[in-house]
């Protein structure tokens, strides 16, 4: 599908990790009619405000990168907020995209939608074949509802709504708050601050044994724009990198990048979460897309971004 350069493209969540990368990628490709609203300009929890926005702006293409997101601790301690806010945000955006006859919509989910103990790598068809990981069950249930909503609008109304499931993301505009962040930005901040203060050790959470796959947000953005142009099916599609490491290996990579000379200690009172989460990305690779940023290079880029980010 060819998308004209002056198409009205709305990126929901354009200031966040995924949304800002999608925005930059669209600009890089020459799209010149992008629409974005900050949280203070448009409250996505407010269905009347979202309806008015769609009526006024009439977007033709919609990327849903807006969501309440967080790392393992935020997910485990705020389940109601993760379930309620994500359902509300995606319901408002998907339903109003239908009402205002958006040409195409891409909904972003998460690899935590898969059963905790599903076979690895995770194929798309493993959805709803077993119990979810408890630390992020509410977030996962909301994301599964979003996939189903896109499929249901396609089935009932013929809407061209697709869904993509990214693996663990990192990159520019990440959240570096130690309580609510994902592991990679959390470790960047911890090792950086420990280096500056001359601390003897950095404390990481859990056992360090879980395996995680990491994808740079700029790679995700390329995949999202690629899918918007080239994919129009009901089945959601995984977006992974194949770059899988243990959390211990990740900590050592971040430590080496930042140059922290001290030790790493493990706080096993903190949860490990799911033991392994590696996506099978063969469906997307078969369409002709490949990631470009290695984990080592990506961590270096992310650290550069962190150094430019004002402390919060």
Residues in contact with ligand GFB by CB under 6 A are 71-72, 75, 110, 112, 135-136, 139, 168, 181-183, 186-187, 190, 204-206, 210, 212, 247, 270-274
CB of 178 to ligand GFB, least distance (A): 7
Task: Determine the Cα–Cα distance for residues 104 and 160; give it in Å rounded to an integer.
Answer: 5
CB closer to ligand GFB out of 93 and 247: 247
Distance CA 93, CA 44 (A): 8
| Separation CA 114–CA 279 (nearest Å) | 10
Q: Considering the candidates 10, 61, 126, 139, report the single residue annotated as catalytic.
A: 139
**Distant-in-sequence, close-in-space partners of 201: CB < 8 Å, separation ≥ 6:** 194, 262, 263, 264, 265
Cα dist from 248 to 256, 276, 295, whole Å: 12, 13, 14
Between 156 and 197, name the residue whose CB sits nearer to ligand GFB.
Answer: 197
Instruction: Using CB positions, name the residue nearest to ligand GFB.
Output: 71
Of 146 and 206, CB closest to ligand GFB: 206
Phi, psi angle pair for 274, to nearest 5°: -65, 140
Smallest gap from residue 131 Cβ to ligand GFB (A): 15
Helices (H), the chain: 17-28, 47-57, 72-77, 79-99, 137-157, 183-197, 217-230, 247-258, 282-287, 295-308
Nearest distance in Å: CB 158, ligand GFB? 31
End-to-end CA distance of the chain: 42
Q: Return the number of the residue (97 or 255) whose C-beta is nearest ligand GFB.
A: 255
Q: Is 139 a catalytic residue?
A: yes
Nearer of residues 36 and 134 to ligand GFB, judged by Cβ:
134
As a whole number of angstroms, the distance between CA 47 and CA 132 comes to 29
List all residues 6 or more positions away from 95 whose beta carbon is below 8 Å from its beta carbon: none
Q: Nearest distance from residue 228's CB to ligand GFB, in Å?
A: 22
Instruction: Give least dist CB 41 to ligand GFB, A.
Output: 26
What does the H/E/C string look like for 226-245?
HHHHHCCCCCCEEECCCCEE
Q: Which is nearer to ligand GFB, 26 or 141 (CB)?
A: 141
Q: Confirm if 41 and 237 have CB atoms less than 8 A apart.
A: no
Nearest approach in angstroms of CB 157 to ligand GFB is: 29
**Residues assigned a catalytic role:** 139
């Amino acid at each position: 599908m060819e998308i004209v350069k002056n198409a009205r493209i709305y990126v929901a969540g354009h200031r966040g990790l995924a949304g800002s990368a999608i925005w930059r990628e669209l600009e890089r490709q020459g799209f010149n009619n992008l629409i974005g609203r900050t949280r203070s300009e448009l409250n996505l929890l407010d269905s009347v405000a979202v309806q008015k926005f769609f009526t006024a702006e009439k977007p033709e293409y919609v990327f849903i990168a807006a969501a309440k997101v967080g790392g393992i601790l935020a997910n485990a301690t705020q389940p109601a907020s993760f379930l309620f806010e994500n359902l509300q945000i995606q319901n408002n955006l998907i339903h109003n995209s239908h009402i205002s006859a958006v040409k195409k919509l891409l909904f972003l989910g998460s690899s935590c939608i898969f059963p905790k103990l599903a076979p690895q790598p995770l194929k798309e068809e493993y959805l709803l074949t077993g119990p979810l990981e408890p630390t992020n069950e509410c977030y996962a249930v909301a994301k599964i509802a979003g996939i189903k909503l896109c499929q249901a609008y396609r089935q009932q109304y013929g809407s061209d709504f697709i869904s993509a499931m990214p693996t663990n993301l990192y990159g520019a505009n990440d959240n570096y708050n130690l309580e609510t962040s994902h592991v990679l930005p959390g470790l960047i901040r911890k090792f950086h601050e420990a280096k500056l203060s001359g601390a003897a050790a950095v404390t990481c959470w859990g056992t360090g044994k879980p395996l995680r796959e990491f994808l740079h947000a700029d790679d995700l953005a390329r995949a999202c724009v690629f899918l918007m142009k080239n994919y129009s099916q009901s089945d959601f599609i995984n977006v992974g990198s194949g770059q899988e490491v243990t959390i211990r290996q990740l900590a050592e990579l971040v430590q080496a990048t930042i140059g922290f000379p001290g030790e790493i200690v493990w706080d096993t009172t903190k949860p490990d979460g799911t033991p392994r989460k590696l996506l099978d990305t063969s469906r997307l690779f078969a369409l002709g897309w490949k990631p470009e940023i290695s984990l080592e290079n990506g961590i270096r880029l992310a650290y550069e971004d962190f150094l430019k980010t004002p402390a919060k």
